[in-house]
Amino acid sequence: MADDLDPNIPPLNPEDPLFGLTTAQVEASREIFGRNELLIPETPLWKLFLHQFSGFLPLLIELAALVSLAVKDWTDFGIIVAMLVVNASLGFREEYHAKKALDELSQKLESEVATRREGETKAMNVQELVPGDVVLLVGGTIVPADIQWIKGDTVSVDTAALTGEPIPRKYPGPNGDVILSGTTIMAGECYGRVLRTGTNTEIGRAQADVLKDKTVRVISVFQKKIMFVVQVLVTCSLVLVVAVLLVEGFVYGGFEKGQVHVTILDALSIMIASIPIALPLVLQVNLALGASFLAKHYNAIVTSTPALQDIASMSMLCSDKTGTLTTANMSIIEESIYAADGFTNNEVIMYAFLCSNADKKDDPIDRAIVAAFAKSAASSDGFVQTEIIGFNPSVKRVVAFVKDSSGKTITIAKGLPAKIINTEAGGRDDHELQWKVDTADDKAFNDKVVCVDTGLNTSGYKTIGIGVCQGDARELGASAVWKFAGLLPMLDPPRHDTPATIESLHHANISVKMITGDHANVGKETARLIGLGTNIHPGEKMRNASAETKNQIIWDADGFAAVLPSDKREIVMTLRNHFGLVTGMTGDGVNDAPALSAAQVGIAVDGATDAAKNAADLILTLPGLSPIYGAVLESRRIFARIKSYVVYRVAASVIMVLVLSISIFVKGCAVHSLYIIILALMNDISMIPVAYDRAAATSKPQLASSSSIVYQSLFYGLVNAFLSLMFIFAMDYDDRFNEEVGLKACDGPTQGFIWMQLLVVTELAIFSVRAPGFFLFSMPSPYLIMSILSTLVIGGLIACLDPQLGLEGKSLGYIVLFNVATFIVVDLLKIKFREVIGESPGEIIASDDLIQPSDRTDAQKQMKKNLRYAVHRDSIVSVGDRQPSVEVKKKPTWYEGFFDLRLDLDINGGFVNKNRLKVQATEGAL
């Protein structure tokens, strides 16, 4: 990576590479490259709150409040303003949490690094670094920029933040001499030259992507569809409002002196009836209860409610390997141990344990051997380690001296298998002990060991060779007899529930792609162990392909290996934006943060870094991946509940608007605006228990469809409105009614009759809307039943006891009987109607328990994959719904803000201001 250096970077001093930069060079470099920091947006809290009052729905509610204020209808005004403030408070709460997450992302500890400038060493704040600076890196240092090794030790670097690999890399070495920003020096110390800073580093670009995503107002695909339907409904209703105003004003004398006030309020009541004022409240309650359920039952914290909705639509889940699908702890795979002739598996483990240091908790190899020994049947009783010669990269082996119970010394070696068989393999080194095992020249032995070792390496295992010499090899010298004991295969093992989670997600028609920074062979073996396909491509293949080929590789692959953070993000963005699939991402490291923030559903696993948590929408707090499956099922249930409510609420608005408007058009009879507002609120409040309703999770991703919501809403709305109007107009022609109520009179009892009819028909409708089949076969929760019945009882008391309405008990009885009969008819008709529009819920997942995987051949796995991909092709999101809804790139002028009230704003409206705040791109942010 040092080959693509910017020519503006000051060169090293040829006489003294450690001299560093001069003051003039520092200023020149800073002028070109800037400071080692990122820019992030900031929005004051008061602006966040005020933003809640902009947008489509808030503006409509504000308009209604102004109209009621203009005619001095204080009761209506108070109710409308109260609902407006409640909705704004809910929206502010959500944006405040998003802002808090962004602030946490930018918080960091002040960090310094020893920097050479003009021949002197100075402790410099890392944000002051510029390309060309020479810095000293020591153990424990988080590398603050991309740095090229100059002089010093071969350092051991933990690169997990970028690659996900659990074993540290050596620099300089096979991976070059450039140590990337965000990695950690584990051992050794060296001087290095700063090559790239801030957003020019690999991890800086990744962090910039996360911050960019955080500035976007995120709206779920489902929520956008809901708002589109609501906007269509309200727009049509406003046409009727104008028509009512004109008809009542000109035809029925509503514009005469003293009647204008009443006419305006009548039109206002229809507008209020069309606005789902409590829709944000009901949605938030549903989502809050869903988030609470996941926290209580699955120990999963939801940080973004839009993502909670999008999980229901998720078709593809990309996942990091190390620490996510696996434990991030190298382990000895006991069943794959190779024991040479004359040794057993337990003896191989015992000798490896005696040649390890149990106190080296940070060494992944010694830690794995100690753990394997503790779980095995091997015993070290009677053996005492007296001396150990530690690992050296140049000799690639460890030698220990052990005394048995009789006091006899045994020499044990562990390390690179070739070096254990013959220490001169690859060239003689400077270790004090040199040997060849007694079978080193045996071709059959060599072929066998090479075959086993190659097979294990090809399968992704790292192997450790074990050699034993009976006696003190230093004293025996050339007469020492070494024997090859065997091979220990090491692998980062899958988490205990990973295979079952993968199987369960596949059953829910969610495909999983593994994306890892580890080697391809390791990725393939891990994929085999967890039940994924083994079509794993190296990241380089994707990076070097043309755009069209790259897209096809991403679509077909089961996963990718040796990738960078930018690769992970690109894979997610391709699946999301090119193929149109709702895409999730799981991970735990800084290297996963860009992909986590780019996905519609970002999931940080237990033990994730702060950067990953801040970029995620769902945070798991216990080991294992099973909560993801639980979140999928619960999200699909939430989807079913919310969709039922939206269909119901739109249908109820259609019923109320049509009945009220036509009553005015035909007879000039209007119900007082106060009662219409009360009716709309009673409808919404009584539906809050929908959040507790019984709902089933389907086996297919649930995509929001505007057309489906519109068709179903119109079916319920038009049919029930037609039947209600027939019933109401019958008052003038039926002797059982015309003595008490009638549209001609339009007195209190008549308005009470219309009001009660609207209440009963709209309240009962939810029982039919929520049931996929006949309502008796899908009973609602007791909470919903009690809420509806209570609302009907309260409504009946209002209609009968309010002196301004004064509905007769007999009329109330007729209303109840009529609506029970018509409810059954409509519920039967809806089954056939849903078949016509293709609204099928799909197979129901009966249990939340994980599905245990069964053994399948590669051909069977591919067949299952083909079936899932067929479902994916039916679950494609429209082009307009693939990007986040609103991203404000500059502070708008007043007129731009006014004309930018687009229809894709969310329920609470608003936008994110981008005043900018400087923060350093160092350990806290990374």
Cis amide prior to 749 (ω within 30 degrees): no
Q: How far apart are CA 517 and CA 6, in angstroms?
A: 26
Q: Which helix (H) or strand (E) holds 400?
A: strand 397-403
**Sign of the CA dihedral 473, 477, 479, 485?**
positive
Q: CA dist 684 to 268, 288, 680, 759, 791, Å?
A: 18, 17, 6, 11, 11
How many C-beta atoms lie closer than 10 Å to residue 192's C-beta?
24
CA-based nearest residue to 825, from 754, 719, 714: 719
Q: Dihedral angle at the C-alpha atoms of 564, 565, 568, 573, nearest 10 degrees?
A: -130
Q: How far apart are CA 596 and CA 585, in angstroms?
A: 5
Q: Are 910 and 54 in contact (CB under 8 A)?
A: yes
DSSP string, 806-817: ---HHHHHHHHH
Which residue matches tokens 């080991």?
623
Largest CA distance in the chain: 123
Q: How far apart are CA 746 and CA 370, in angstroms?
A: 89
Query: Phi/psi of residue 472, each to 5°?
Result: -85, 110
The SS3 of residue 316 is strand
The SS3 of residue 456 is helix
**First vs last C-alpha separation in the chain:** 21
CA-based nearest residue to 220, from 702, 650, 629: 702
Q: Is 827 a catalytic residue?
A: no
Of 158, 213, 266, 320, which is the active-site residue? Answer: 320
Cis amide prior to 172 (ω within 30 degrees): yes
DSSP designation for 891: P
Please classify residue 800 by burial: count the beta carbons closer than 10 Å to its beta carbon, then call 0-12 exposed, 13-18 middle and 19+ buried.
middle
The SS3 of residue 404 is coil
DSSP string, 580-600: ---EEEEE-SGGGHHHHHHSS
Q: In the β-sheet with 155-158, what is the strand arrangement from edge to edge?
A: 169-171, 155-158, 184-187
Amino acid at 706: S
Helix axes 260-274, 626-667, angle to 10 degrees: 150
How many C-beta atoms lie closer than 10 Å to residue 914's C-beta?
16
Tokens for 702? 């649930």
Residues in contact with 31: Cβ distance below 8 Å, sequence separation at least 6, in sequence order: none
SS (H, E, C) 544-579: CCCHHHHHHHHHHCCEEECCCHHHHHHHHHHHHHHC
Please classify residue 871 by burial: count the beta carbons closer than 10 Å to its beta carbon, then call 0-12 exposed, 13-18 middle and 19+ buried.
middle
Q: CA dist 58 to 87, 276, 902, 905, Å?
A: 8, 11, 13, 11
Q: How far apart are CA 327 and CA 495, in angstroms?
A: 5
Query: What ranges in 607-625 are assigned the alpha helix state H?
Result: 610-615
Residue 910 CA from chain centroid, whole number: 23
Q: Are 684 and 798 in contact (CB under 8 A)?
A: no
CA-based nearest residue to 270, from 659, 765, 721: 659
Q: Are 581 and 601 in contact (CB under 8 A)?
A: no
Q: How far apart are CA 88 and CA 280, in angstroms?
A: 9
The residues assigned a catalytic role are 320
